[in-house]
Structure 1
Amino acid sequence: ELIEGDMRKQAERALKNLESVLVAGNSSLDMVIKLTVYLVDISDFLIVNSVFSDFFPNQPPARETVQVSGLPKGARIEISAIGLARS
């Protein structure tokens, strides 16, 4: 479900959704190696960075952030991840 408006809430939801996908794939946020963050407005970077520090308090994964002209359904953030699965 997309949360409209508030960037902090959108970023939190995106990371919670990512966490759910990782758990379903026998992984977790602490097993993420690299993230790519797509932002419609790069000025949201500081807000997103703050949210990331809540989800990755110790050793955050490598991350790149890219500004894009738009995202589906009016989203302001999208995150893709590369991670490891538990054996």
Structure 2
Amino acid sequence: MSKQIVYTDQAPAPIGPYSQAVSVPAGAGMLFVSGQVAIELAPQGDIRAETQKVMENIGAILTAAGMDYSNIVKSSIFVKDMNNFAAINEVYGQFFTSDPPARETVEVARLPKDVNVEISVIAVI
């Protein structure tokens, strides 16, 4: 099995030993996008702006892989405060006009760089 690392400077560079995304098989098939955060906006507390930036980062990575939001089949949302669920959902939903992907939303104690939301996705061609 071959894999291809996907990288764009239109999204934050990884802050650890991981890739922005990995395409399997290389250049076609499935794309696994690492959790994206809005480091530059946290911890200001504007969850809508943070979620918007996270989704834009995901969009940039999808574009680098020759995909778009319609290719997403699975999302995982990690949120520091479940009281922000409605606001996150409102922004997230704007990126899926029809046939939204499968998803889970999980409240966690803490996220990297003290952000308020992190989203990862799996996309397919």
TM-score > 0.5 by shorter chain: yes
Give yes or no for the alignment of 1:28 onto 2:58.
no
Structure 1 regions of 5+ residues with no counterpart? none
More strand by share: 2
Q: Map of 1:1-87 to 2, 5 A cutoff?
A: 1-4=39-42, 5-85=45-125
Shift of 1:36: 0.2
More helix per residue? 1
- 1:55 corresponds to which letter in structure 2? F
Give 1:2 deviation, angstroms. Answer: 2.4
Q: Percent identity?
A: 33
Greater Cα radius of gyration, structure 1 or 2: 2
Looking at structure 2, the residues matched to 25 and 60 of structure 1 have their Cα atoms a distance apart, in angstroms, of: 20
**TM-score relative to the length of structure 1:** 0.91
Task: Give the aligned residue type for 2:96.
Answer: F
Q: TM-score, normalised by structure 2?
A: 0.65
Query: 2:57 is paired with a residue of what secondary structure?
Result: helix
Structure 1 stretches of at least 4 aligned residues deviating more than 3 Å after TM superposition: none
